[in-house]
Amino acid sequence: EAQVTQNPRYLITVTGKKLTVTCSQNMNHEYMSWYRQDPGLGLRQIYYSMNVEVTDKGDVPEGYKVSRKEKRNFPLILESPSPNQTSLYFCASSPGALPFEQYFGPGTRLTVT
């Protein structure tokens, strides 16, 4: 089944404790992206990747890192999480650079206390 998976789905952590949210797709897609969704602000792009070893900042990259060492995986790294990074995070992929239909992961709800 074609899908984008994210892990973990739910995470409660404390300020400053490094964490990684994994994202994996099995559709051989070139383009992958991370978004965060906050009430009243909607979805905002954090980082995106056009292909292996090619990444770039979106609208709200501060406090996040990404890497794309393999085509299928695009982990989101929070080196020192802060409470303002409490949010719902979505990973998405598409066959190529936009415009293409995007396939979204199920979301990761992160709470930083």
Partner 1 sequence: KNEVEQSPQNLTAQEGEFITINCSYSVGISALHWLQQHPGGGIVSLFMLSSGKKKHGRLIATINIQEKHSSLHITASHPRDSAVYICAVSFGYDMRFGAGTRLTVKP
Supply the minimum distance, in Å, between the C-beta of residue 29 and partner 1: 13
**Closer residue to partner 1 in complex, CB, 27/50:** 50
14 or 43: whose CB is closer to partner 1?
Answer: 43
Smallest gap from Cβ 10 to partner 1, in A, equals 11
**Single-letter amino acid code for the residue at 62:** E
Query: Taking the alpha carbons of 19, 17, 53, 56 in that order, is the dihedral positive or negative?
Result: positive
Of 42, 47, 56, 41, give the one whose Cα is nearest residue 92: 47
Give the interface with partner 1 as residue ranges (CB under 8 A): 31, 33, 35, 40-45, 48, 50, 56, 58-59, 88, 90, 92, 97-104, 106-107, 109
Which residues are bridge partners to 82 per DSSP?
none
Q: For 2, what's the count of Cα atoms within 13 Å in the CB-facing half-sphere?
A: 10
The least distance separating partner 1 from the CB of residue 58, rounded to whole angstroms, comes to 7
Q: Which run of H or of E encompasses 25?
A: strand 19-25
Closest separation in Å from C-beta 15 to partner 1? 25
Q: Which is nearer to partner 1, 15 or 27 (CB)?
A: 27
